[in-house]
Amino acid sequence: MKRQFKVKRGDVFCSAFPGARLGWLIKVVETIRAKDWHAAYSHAGIIIHKDGETVESLWKVKSQNIYEAYKGCTVLIARYNALTQGKYYIGLRMLNKNIGKRYPIFRLPLHLLGLGRFIHWKKMVCSELVAKFLHCVGARHRHYFGVNPDDLADEFKNWKIYEVVFEGIIE
58-79, pLDDT tens digit by residue? 889 999 999 999 999 999 999 9
Q: Read off the pLDDT of each residue in 142-166 and give the average, rounded to a whole number.
A: 93
Ordered structural domains, the chain, with CATH: 12-169 (3.90.1720.10)
Is the pLDDT reported for residue 4 higher than 60?
yes
7-62, pLDDT tens digit by residue? 999 999 999 865 566 555 565 555 556 566 566 788 899 999 999 999 999 889 99
How much is the pTM? 0.88
Residue 33 Ramachandran class (φ > 0 left, ψ -120 to 50 alpha, else beta):
alpha
Is the pLDDT reported for residue 1 higher than 90?
no
